[in-house]
Amino acid sequence: MSEPSVNNPLIEVRHIHKSFKTVQAVRDVSFTISQGQFVALLGPNGAGKTTTVEMIEGIQKPDQGEIRIMGLNWKEHADRLRPLIGLSLQETRFVDKLNVVETLRLFASFYSLPASRVEEIITTVGLQEKRKAAVENLSGGQRQRLALGIALLNYPNILLLDEPTTGLDPNARREIWNILLQLKKNGRTSLILTTHYMEEAEKLCDYIIIFHNGEILKEGSRNALLDEGDGRKIVEFELEKNETAESYSALRQKFDQLAALFRVHWDRELSKGSVALTNLETELPLFLEHMKELGLTICNLSFRKKTLDDLFTELTGRHLDD
Amino acid sequence: MIKKRPLHQLSQLIIAHTMEILREPAVLFWGILFPIFMALGLGLAFTKKADKIGHVVLIETETGISPAFERLRQSSAGPNLEYDGIEHRHRLVLPDSVLGNMTIYFLTTTWDEGIKHLKQGKAGLLLSVEKDQVLYHFDPSNQEARLFHREISDLLRPGREQGFSQSGQVRALTLKGTRYIDFLIPGLMAMGVMMSTMWGLSYGLIEKRSKKLIRRMVATPMRKSYFLFSIITVRTAMNLIEALLLFLFSWLSFGFTLTGNPLALFVLILAGNFSFAGLSIFLSSRTSSTEVGNGVINLVVMPMMIGSGIFFSYHNFPDWLVPVIQKLPLTMLADGMRSIFLEGAGFSETAAASLILAGSGVLFFLAGLKIYKWH
Ligand SMILES: Nc1ncnc2c1ncn2[C@@H]1O[C@H](COP(=O)(O)OP(=O)(O)O)[C@@H](O)[C@H]1O
Ligand SMILES: [Mg+2]
């Protein structure tokens, strides 16, 4: 009989596949997560993040492949796995008519937890003033904090959060981040979080797995991904208005020519583009010269650090939040 | 290791479901006030001596006179025919202290207008005269029209005396247990059990699934059996309270009483609850769309509402349909409750119905559980 043990990796996902009628939602995904890690599954809508976490949560079954959590699997050990896990689904709406304390008490009873734990959680997620407020009267951010509180009730070893801040305003998002950063300090919990906000992945997680079309596009530590290869810098440019009037295909052609030489990305709608350069001093003049030769006049130029979105754009030609 | 507290889990589930129901204002209205209003409205309408009112059209000829009206005026009822204040309309009141008065309004108009009245439901019977013969035009399936046809042809019979000429006498039955209200109350109770279970349980569960709440709950160590047990228990308790309130109300306001075995009644209502609870679990087992749920519940509830003789006896339905109707759960429950309330029945008369209701509930419950979509 297998025991949950520190020798096993926390979570092992091996070659999982999952299809729905016409869509292959997840294709041959494998990764390993170790104890205490904070991991982001980053990718645009429809990339397969939810399907993947729900398979880890035992809510969906993979068509093929295997998932082990501390050496245990859902088929044989569901009853032992459930108490180890805390989770929030992409959209859960709790009972409208119950208030915050009642909702937490109900869930606490499923884990045989005392009322004192409910009070601790209310403090952890900062809902003291809303304890008696009915769920239907909570704001989006407060609902998400309630969902997070429920996920944290049972002192989970593994916390799985599916898009915990989607649709929230920046303040509400930061409140959730702070709760999670606090949790990270305590160091007892591992986190898997899905998101399409690169800031969220960058801010909270040390290890990032980028999903695209049901597959893992790239994975690695945050720093490794951002330094990816050569530590390129990103230069953003804007074209003169009259240039944008030029027919699309002519512009396209010019950028295709440029793309042969540079890692350039052009956004037609914004008439903005970016290029990734390794050495600004030598490469930037060269790039500007090429632009000039092609008759493209730059009206604005700026530099910034590379982000995960840049990486995603480089790899797929799309943005994360497209 | 945390000590397991299964009873705590069950009690929390029961508290949560109770709160959820009690805080929904619509529950108070549909569950408690609505049946009482129904009883009050229908009870009053049918308990008071029923004055019959009818509308009859008398056809006039092209010259603008109505031979039918002339006939009427010359009949024994002629002197009682009075002008109504509305153009071309006369009123005839036939007093009846036993069954309630009968009032007939006669409108004199053209054939085309008369037909229009018929189509609009303003009149059920048209009278014309052809070759000295009075002709009655009406839809034979219209019971009221048949009644007024008989009444008027009686009036127009030559040599008819004023007042009662029938042989034999009529006695109105207003004995407790034979009134319409007595028939109605047990039916309303049965209907309440069905409606509140089907909508409360089935719709409630489908809504919880569509909100992804069910899948969130089963991702915890919650026992699914406790979850279902608690919502069925809470719903059953609510139904019993609702039935009790309706009983108290009709006892106070109509003198409605229980003549049979209270324990048999309790068992029967409980069995009815099981039956509808099982059906509800079955109906809610797959879909997560509240629209689909709405349709499916209506599909099951509506035929029973119409067929099961809640408001009017199902014995007026075609003969071949009656045995089918009698096997519907709502019919079984309503008929059984009537026999206990009104006919003094006990276990021996209702045990079979209770057993069938409870048994079918268990079967539907197990079938639903087999295909239940928890995720
Ligand atoms: N239950 C389902 N039935 C049909 N298609 C689904 C279902 N769940 C997910 N999909 C499809 O699988 C793909 C991946 O979905 P999902 O895992 O939800 O992506 P993400 O969470 O990254 O947005 C999408 O194309 C989605 O439409
Ligand atoms: Mg998702």
Distances (CA, A) of A55 to A16, A37, B64: 9, 19, 86
- Residues B221-233, mean pLDDT to the nearest whole number: 95
Residue B159: its pLDDT value, please? 64
Domain boundary among B172, B207, B242: B172
CA angle in degrees (0–180, nearest 5) for A215-A218-A219: 110
Contact A59 B215 (CB under 8 A): yes
Question: What pLDDT, in 10s, does the model give residues A290-318?
Answer: 888 888 888 888 888 778 888 888 788 78
- Whether B292 is covered by a domain: the verdict is yes
- Whether B229 is covered by a domain: the verdict is yes
**A207 contacts A39 by C-beta, under 8 angstroms:** yes
Residue A91 CA: which ligand is closest?
2
Q: Mutating which of A18, A110, A153 best tests the B interface, going by the most B Cβ atoms within 10 A? A: A110
- Residues B35-45, mean pLDDT to the nearest whole number: 85
Same domain, B321 and B274: yes
A-B contacts (CB, under 8 Å): 71
Residue A242: its pLDDT value, please? 61
Highest mean pLDDT out of A157-171, A232-246, B67-81, B111-125? A157-171
How are beta strands A272-277 and A298-304 bridged, if at all? unpaired
Residue A206 has which token pair? 């040390």
- Whether B68 is covered by a domain: the verdict is yes
Considering Cα of B286, then B287, then B290, then B293, what sign does the dihedral take?
Answer: negative
Same domain, B163 and B186: no
Residue B144: its pLDDT value, please? 84
| pLDDT > 50? residue B242 | yes
Question: What pLDDT, in 10s, does the model give residues B82-130?
Answer: 888 888 888 888 888 777 788 899 999 998 888 888 888 888 899 888 8
Domain boundary among B143, B172, B201: B172
| pLDDT > 50? residue A256 | yes
- CB-defined site of ligand 1, < 6 Å: A 20, 23, 25, 43, 45-51
CB neighbour class for B101 (10 Å; exposed up to 12, middle 13-18, buried from 19) = middle
Residue B195: its pLDDT value, please? 93
Of A16, A42, A51, A163, the one to substitute when testing ligand 1's pocket (max ligand atoms within 8 A of C-beta) is A51
Residue B166: its pLDDT value, please? 53
Number of domains present in the structure of chain B: 2
Same domain, B237 and B258: yes
Contacts of B3 in chain A (CB under 8 A): 112
Distance from Cα B317 to the centre of ligand 1, integer Å: 51
Residue B161: its pLDDT value, please? 53
| pLDDT > 60? residue A193 | yes
How far is residue A124's CA from residue A149's CA, in Å, rounded to a whole number? 8
**A306 contacts A296 by C-beta, under 8 angstroms:** no
Contacts of A91 in chain B (CB under 8 A): 212
Residue B329: its pLDDT value, please? 97
CB neighbour class for A173 (10 Å; exposed up to 12, middle 13-18, buried from 19) = buried
pLDDT band per the 50, 70, 90 thresholds, residue B272: very high
Q: What is the ipTM of this complex?
A: 0.84
Of B216, B363, B337, B175, the closest CA to residue B272 belongs to B337
Domain boundary among B146, B172, B198: B172
Contact A92 B213 (CB under 8 A): yes
Same domain, B160 and B184: no
How are beta strands B52-59 and B125-130 bridged, if at all? parallel
Residue B244: its pLDDT value, please? 95
- Whether B1 is covered by a domain: the verdict is no
Specify the residue with its C-alpha closest to ligand 1, atom 16: A48
Q: Mutating which of B4, B10, B22, B216 best tests the A interface, going by the most A Cβ atoms within 10 A? A: B216
Distances (CA, A) of B264 to A134, B175, B339, B355, B357: 41, 24, 11, 12, 14
Alpha helices in A67-169 (DSSP H): 74-81, 100-110, 115-124, 140-152
Count other Cβ atoms within 10 Å, centred on residue B118.
Answer: 20
Decide if B73 touches A, using CB distance below 8 A: no
- Whether B75 is covered by a domain: the verdict is yes
Residue A147: its pLDDT value, please? 97
Question: What does pLDDT average to over chain A?
Answer: 89
Calculate helix-pair angle for A170-186, A140-152, nearest 10 degrees. 20
Decide if B253 touches A, using CB distance below 8 A: no
Residue B208: its pLDDT value, please? 94
Question: For A221-225, A256-260, B108-112, which range has the lowest pLDDT when averaged over its residues?
Answer: A256-260
Same domain, B191 and B164: no
Q: For residue A235, what are the β-bridge partners?
A: A275, A303
How far is residue A26's CA from residue A49's CA, in Å, rounded to a whole number? 8
How far is residue B182's CA from residue B71's CA, in Å, rounded to a whole number? 44
Nearest residue of B to residue A61 by CA position?
B375
| pLDDT > 90? residue B174 | no
Same domain, B286 and B360: yes
Give chain A's end-to-end CA distance (angstroms, integer).
47
How far is residue A29's CA from residue A52's CA, in Å, rounded to a whole number? 8
How far is residue B148's CA from residue B330's CA, in Å, rounded to a whole number? 35
Residue B172: its pLDDT value, please? 62
| pLDDT > 70? residue A209 | yes
- Whether B40 is covered by a domain: the verdict is no
Calculate helix-pair angle for B180-197, B262-283, nearest 10 degrees. 40
Same domain, B167 and B278: no
**B81 contacts B73 by C-beta, under 8 angstroms:** yes
Distance from Cα A44 to the centre of ligand 2, integer Å: 9
| Secondary structure element (H or E) that encloses residue B99, with its range | none
Candidates B3, B12, B24; nearest CB to A109: B12
Count other Cβ atoms within 10 Å, centred on residue B19.
Answer: 18
| Secondary structure element (H or E) that encloses residue A277, with its range | strand A272-277
The SS3 assignment for B171 reads coil
Residue B50: its pLDDT value, please? 63
CB neighbour class for A22 (10 Å; exposed up to 12, middle 13-18, buried from 19) = exposed
Question: What does pLDDT average to over chain B?
Answer: 88
Contact A112 B23 (CB under 8 A): no
Distances (CA, A) of B245 to B195, B239, B241: 16, 10, 6
Task: Name the residue range of residue B142's domain.
Answer: 52-172
Same domain, B261 and B159: no
Contact B5 A109 (CB under 8 A): yes
Residue A1: its pLDDT value, please? 43
| Secondary structure element (H or E) that encloses residue B48, with its range | none
Same domain, B242 and B136: no
Question: What pLDDT, in 10s, does the model give residues A68-106?
Answer: 999 999 999 999 999 999 999 998 899 999 999 999 999
Residue A228: its pLDDT value, please? 64
> How near does any CA of chain B get to the CA of A109, in Å?
5
- Whether B47 is covered by a domain: the verdict is no
| Secondary structure element (H or E) that encloses residue B302, with its range | helix B290-307
Position with higher pLDDT, B304 vs B49: B304
How far is residue A13's CA from residue A69's CA, in Å, rounded to a whole number? 9
The SS3 assignment for A272 reads strand
Residue B224: its pLDDT value, please? 94
Residue B164: its pLDDT value, please? 47
How far is residue B334's CA from residue B340's CA, in Å, rounded to a whole number? 10
Considering Cα of A142, then A144, then A146, then A152, what sign does the dihedral take?
Answer: negative
- Residues A195-216, mean pLDDT to the nearest whole number: 94
How far is residue A321's CA from residue A308's CA, in Å, rounded to a whole number? 12
Same domain, B339 and B195: yes
Of A177, A125, B196, the closest CA to residue A107 belongs to A125
- The structure tokens 């493209």 sit at A296
Decide if B290 touches A, using CB distance below 8 A: no
Decide if B24 touches A, using CB distance below 8 A: yes
Chain A residues near any Cβ of chain B (below 8 Å)? 57-60, 79, 82-83, 85, 87, 89, 91-95, 97-98, 102, 105-107, 109-113, 134, 150, 154
- The structure tokens 């079979």 sit at B352
Nearest residue of B to residue A59 by CA position?
B375
**Residue type at B161?**
E
Position with higher pLDDT, A159 vs B42: A159
Specify the residue with its C-alpha closest to ligand 1, atom 12: A25
Distance from Cα A86 to the centre of ligand 1, integer Å: 22
Q: Mention every residue, 6+ apart, whose C-beta is less than 8 A from residue B324.
A: none
How far is residue A274's CA from residue A265's CA, in Å, rounded to a whole number? 5
Same domain, B221 and B86: no
Same domain, B285 and B144: no
Residue B240 has which token pair? 């019993």
Contact A105 B12 (CB under 8 A): yes
Q: What is the DSSP string of A117-128?
A: HHHHHHHHTT-G
| pLDDT > 90? residue B67 | no
- Whether B344 is covered by a domain: the verdict is yes
**A218 contacts A49 by C-beta, under 8 angstroms:** no
Q: What is the DSSP string of A214-230?
A: TEEEEEEEHHHHHHTTT
